Amino acid sequence: MNPLKFLAPARAALDLSAFDFMGRRKLWFGISAALLVPGLVAMLLSYLWLGAPLRLGIDFTGGTLAQLTFTQPVSAVELKEAIARRGFEGVQVQIADGRTALVRLRDLDLPQRQRLLDGVKADVGAFRADRFESVGPTVGRELLGGALGALAVTLLGIAGYVSLRYQLDFALCAIAALIHDVVFLVGTFALLGLTLGVEVDALFVTALLTVLGFSVHDTIVVYDRLRENMQRAGARESFDEVANRSIRQTMARSLNTSLTVMLTLGAMAVLGGEPVRWFTCAMLLGVAAGTYSSIFNASQLLSWWRMRGVTPRKA
Amino acid sequence: MNWRKLMLGIVTILTLACGWIVANDGDRWPYAFKRGLDVQGGVHLVLQARPTREVPTITPDVRERAMAVVRARVDGLGVAEPLIQARGTDRVIVDLPGVADKDEALRVLGTTAVLSFRAHAADLASAPGAPPAPPSHVPDWVETGLTGGHVTHVSVEPEGAHWAVIADFNAEGAGKLGEVSRQLVGKPMAIFLDDRLISAPTVEQPLDTGNVRIFGDFTARQAHELEVVLEAGSLPVPLDVVENRAIDASLGAEAVQRSVLAGGVGAALVMGFMAAYYRLPGVVANVALVVYGLIVLAVFKLVPITITVPGIAGFVLSIGMAVDANVLIFERTKEELAGGRSLHAAIETGFKRAFSAILDSNVTTLLACGVLFQLGSGMIRGFALTLAIGVVASMFTAIGATRHILHAALAARPARGQALFGGPTKEVIR
């Protein structure tokens, strides 16, 4: 007795064994555009307002971020004044839940840190410093440079790997699908940065790179089968027909793998610890985007590229 | 057949051993998991050496000497497992997990603590025994050449309501001390700490004992910190704190609890799905997943890998990815069965064919982990490492454990064939 039988009507409607993945490519590209455009707009707005396409956290900009949990409820104004009184300007205070305050200001050296904490204790009350992080501007800039460098190296490494295993046009389309995923993830977080004030830190870059590694492997699964089928098919079948078949054959594997990964990521995003909440959300979104692009973009791009006016070559 | 039973036996014993390792914490082997800074709380500092007039370039030797001083100071703090590393050409990273008094640690590590003994230029020039130079409006202390570098040992003593610090000098320092104090009898000698005047007592008689008592109204804590810092020796160059992070233990404990819960729920969901979709082979994959989990956790404990909160996330993620290898094998096996092979042959071929594809697909994840390891700080490295170990281990358990468990399970009910693998019917490969 297959417990998944209740899904049968849905499965019949989306009869996967005859689904036309290639023919409906305009629809898929349209969906991609719909997903990417808001993100791109958000990135542009973010750049104009904040000076960067994402809301960058102190890891990249430098500065101080402190989370203080007081024994009594405390007001933002009170805390801000206490800090300003000690000679610190440009302080931002957010009260999370009555007692927990998030304080942001420029980077501080150790004596300054002590002065600030002593001042708050004297003027506002006793607290526990859950976290107190201060990053100098040079370190921040270096980390940002390092992050961008890592992204470039990973993309190049992947491009190199795919061109080694397959041909150049396969590699280019795989990278295009990957860039689609990167833009989606970055755009979404630009949007979150503008609306919810979500800041991007070193962990976000980690999520991005992990998603890249995972997403391209999903694409490779399809390409691997595509190449195998192209070798067997001969001249009588069009590329689109071979591609359709390849996608149908690998669909189960792609979807199942993505599903299991998303189940674990979903559990972490919902139930997991606070420090990694956005980190796991980013990976979840990235994996979803990666699966979508592997099935609905990668081969379609390849088909479009090949039929662009160039005579179709054998794999 | 006997060989298969042997392999199954080995897998079982290995699993039980790993389970035992994971379950047993204590002061003796296999100890406890090594917990990172964000889990047990602590302090993370990045110190950057600043070139001075005397030391214009930070050579590896200069940095090494600075690190030695930092290490000595950290020893004075009594932290259980400090981590002091060099980074780049001029940086030192200090991690102090579980340090009890974060503020003290920051104070001790953050000060340059250059001790110097100075005098008025005029007093040094005038004859010994001459009257002291008149006080001037402009501070005109100059170095006498006697510094903290000559100090070998420091101790503290109560002095009335406060504490005094006693500095013992080495041979060269003692000689110099005698010489300078003889020159300055009746005149003031100033003691500076980091360009801050501590005290400037008048020298009553030549100091031939080779030690100096420093009074500065120090509290017990200040005297102790000074003792730690001066004992460690003076830094060859000042170290600026370019990054400092202090995390409280409570934050980490909660995050770990939640992550473990989430991991458990995630694993349960994955196992539920596998059993529902693939039926018996799915259950086999779940057993293999448990084997995988125990092996990986045992590896984390034994190496040891430092557990951070993102590291736990990496492990949970790898659980989701570990199943992928099994999914691939099952799908391939289904195809082989559809193509007409016998059950056991289909399984073997499925495993063989799947291996290169599994390897292929994990290479890109490992590439990303490699890049992250190079780029990242402790937490990011923790994630990259746990994910990479998880990915590699999943390849082995899929090929090793799953295969043998599957064969054993099917040996019990041999003739089920394709229907056993469940899932929707697939297109037959032409």
pLDDT for the residue B429: 35
Query: How far apart, in whole angstroms, are the C-alpha atoms of residue A212 and residue A294?
Result: 12
- Contact (Cβ atoms closer than 8 angstroms) between residue B328 and residue B355: no
Instruction: Write out chain A's pLDDT in tens, 315 residues.
Output: 455 666 666 555 455 666 778 878 888 888 889 999 999 999 999 999 888 899 999 999 999 999 999 998 888 898 998 999 888 988 999 888 888 999 999 999 888 998 999 999 998 889 999 899 999 999 899 888 888 998 999 988 888 888 888 888 888 888 999 999 999 999 999 999 999 889 999 899 999 999 988 888 888 888 888 888 888 877 777 888 888 888 888 888 888 888 999 999 999 999 987 888 999 999 999 999 999 998 888 888 888 888 775 555 555
**Helix crossing, B102-110 with A110-123: angle to 10°?**
150
Q: What percent of chain B has pLDDT over 90?
A: 14
Which of B66-70, B133-137, B186-190, B401-405 bottoms out in mean pLDDT, i.e. has the lowest?
B133-137
Interface touch B361/A132, C-beta < 8 Å = no
When CB atoms are compared, the residue of A158, A202, A279 closest to B377 is: A202
Q: How far B192 CA sits from the closest chain A CA (Å)?
A: 18
- Contact (Cβ atoms closer than 8 angstroms) between residue B267 and residue B261: no
Q: How many CB atoms are closer than 10 A to CB A151?
A: 18
Interface touch A165/B360, C-beta < 8 Å = yes
Residue in chain B lying closest to A247 (CA) = B427
**Which whole number is the average pLDDT over B62-75?**
88
pTM of the model: 0.83
Does B93 lie at the interface with A, CB-CB under 8 angstroms?
Answer: no
Q: How many CB atoms are closer than 10 A to CB B209?
A: 12
> B residues 311-350 near A, CB within 8 Å?
313, 316-317, 319-321, 323-324, 327-328, 331
Query: How far apart, in whole angstroms, are the C-alpha atoms of residue B411 and residue B138?
Result: 96
Does B247 lie at the interface with A, CB-CB under 8 angstroms?
Answer: yes
Beta strands in A19-76 (DSSP E): 63-70
Q: Are strands B42-49 and B83-87 parallel, antiparallel or unpaired?
A: unpaired
Could you give the 3-state DSSP secondary structure of residue A273? coil
- Contact (Cβ atoms closer than 8 angstroms) between residue A224 and residue A191: no
- Contact (Cβ atoms closer than 8 angstroms) between residue B202 and residue B188: yes
When CB atoms are compared, the residue of A154, A217, A272 closest to B313 is: A272
Confidence of residue B423 (pLDDT cuts 50, 70, 90): very low
Cα dihedral B339, B323, A21, A12, rounded to 10, equals 80
pLDDT for the residue A11: 54
Q: How far A40 CA sits from the closest chain B CA (Å)?
A: 25
Rounded to 5 degrees, what are φ and ψ at B426? -105, 160
CA of B246: how far to CAs of A60, A110, B45, B92, B249, in Å? 18, 11, 9, 17, 10
> B residues 186-245 near A, CB within 8 Å?
240-245
Six token digits for residue A65: 């971020």
Q: How far B415 CA sits from the closest chain A CA (Å)?
A: 18
Nearest to B407 by CA among B353, B349, B348, B354: B348
Chain mean pLDDT for chain B? 83
Rounded to 5 degrees, what are φ and ψ at B240? -90, 140
Six token digits for residue A96: 């999370």
**Which whole number is the average pLDDT over B196-200?**
81
Q: How far B228 CA sits from the closest chain A CA (Å)?
A: 18
Residues of chain B contacting A17 with CB distance shorter than 8 Å? 425-427
pLDDT tens sequence across B126-163? 777 777 777 777 777 888 888 777 888 888 888 888 88
Interface touch B368/A11, C-beta < 8 Å = no
Interface touch B248/A129, C-beta < 8 Å = yes
* Test the B interface: residue of A209, A274, A283 with most B CBs within 10 Å: A209
- Contact (Cβ atoms closer than 8 angstroms) between residue B243 and residue B42: no
Six token digits for residue A234: 């001969």
Give strand pairing partners of B153.
B168
Judged on CB neighbours under 10 Å (0-12, 13-18, 19+), B261 is middle
Interface touch A257/B327, C-beta < 8 Å = yes
Query: How far apart, in whole angstroms, are the C-alpha atoms of residue B306 and residue B46?
Result: 19
In B1-131, where does DSSP find H-type helix? 2-23, 37-40, 60-77, 102-110, 121-125
Query: How far apart, in whole angstroms, are the C-alpha atoms of residue B395 and residue B267?
Result: 18
Which of A91-95, B285-289, B347-351, B385-389 bottoms out in mean pLDDT, i.e. has the lowest?
B347-351
Q: How far A134 CA sits from the closest chain B CA (Å)?
A: 5
pLDDT for the residue B428: 37
pLDDT for the residue B127: 77
Residues of chain B contacting A11 with CB distance shorter than 8 Å? 424
Q: Are strands B141-147 and B115-120 parallel, antiparallel or unpaired?
A: antiparallel
**Which whole number is the average pLDDT over B296-305?**
90
pLDDT for the residue A109: 86
Residues in contact with A303: Cβ distance below 8 Å, sequence separation at least 6, in sequence order: A22, A25, A239, A240, A243
Question: Residue B411: pLDDT above 80?
Answer: no
- How many contacts (CB atoms, under 8 Å) link A and B? 232
* Test the A interface: residue of B244, B326, B358 with most A CBs within 10 Å: B244
Residue B30: asked if its preceding bond is cis (omega within 30°), the reply is yes
- Contact (Cβ atoms closer than 8 angstroms) between residue B367 and residue B384: no
Residues of chain B contacting A221 with CB distance shorter than 8 Å? 357, 361
| Cα diameter, chain B | 112
Nearest to B190 by CA among B141, B124, B138: B141
pLDDT for the residue B425: 43
Question: Residue B422: pLDDT above 80?
Answer: no
pLDDT tens sequence across B257-269? 999 999 999 999 9
Query: How far apart, in whole angstroms, are the C-alpha atoms of residue B52 and residue B341?
Result: 77
For residues B64 and B115, the model is more confident at B64
Q: How many CB atoms are closer than 10 A to CB B366?
A: 16
Query: How far apart, in whole angstroms, are the C-alpha atoms of residue B231 and residue B74?
Result: 11
Residues of chain B contacting A273 with CB distance shorter than 8 Å? 254-259, 262, 309
Residues of chain A contacting B244 with CB distance shorter than 8 Å? 110, 113, 132-134
- Contact (Cβ atoms closer than 8 angstroms) between residue A169 and residue A302: yes
- Contact (Cβ atoms closer than 8 angstroms) between residue B419 and residue B333: no
Residues of chain A contacting B429 with CB distance shorter than 8 Å? 249
When CB atoms are compared, the residue of B273, B310, B361 closest to A259 is: B273
What interface predicted TM-score (ipTM) does this complex get?
0.85
Q: What one-character-per-residue DSSP string does B254-309 give? A: HHHHHHHHHHHHHHHHHHHHHHHHHSHHHHHHHHHHHHHHHHHHHHHHHTTPPB-H
When CB atoms are compared, the residue of A110, A202, A259 closest to B110 is: A110
Does B422 lie at the interface with A, CB-CB under 8 angstroms?
Answer: yes
Could you give the 3-state DSSP secondary structure of residue B30? coil
Sign of CA dihedral A168, A170, A175, A176: positive
Question: Residue B419: pLDDT above 60?
Answer: no
- Contact (Cβ atoms closer than 8 angstroms) between residue B65 and residue B253: no
When CB atoms are compared, the residue of B243, B276, B331 closest to A136 is: B243
CA of A15: how far to CAs of A221, A243, B83, B331, in Å? 21, 17, 58, 19
Could you give the 3-state DSSP secondary structure of residue B57? coil
When CB atoms are compared, the residue of A149, A209, A267 closest to B265 is: A267
> B residues 53-82 near A, CB within 8 Å?
none
Interface touch B313/A267, C-beta < 8 Å = no
Which of B243-252, B300-309, B318-327 bottoms out in mean pLDDT, i.e. has the lowest?
B318-327
Residue that is written with structure tokens 């019949």 in the block: A12
pLDDT for the residue B430: 28
Interface touch A213/B364, C-beta < 8 Å = yes
Query: How far apart, in whole angstroms, are the C-alpha atoms of residue B374 and residue B253?
Result: 28
Give strand pairing partners of B414.
none
When CB atoms are compared, the residue of B262, B270, B327 closest to A268 is: B262
A63's enclosing H/E stretch is strand A63-70
Q: How many CB atoms are closer than 10 A to CB A173?
A: 24
Q: How many CB atoms are closer than 10 A to CB A20?
A: 11
Question: Residue B352: pLDDT above 60?
Answer: yes
Query: How far apart, in whole angstroms, are the C-alpha atoms of residue A184 and residue A290?
Result: 10
Residue A18, CA atoms < 13 Å, CB-side half-sphere: 4
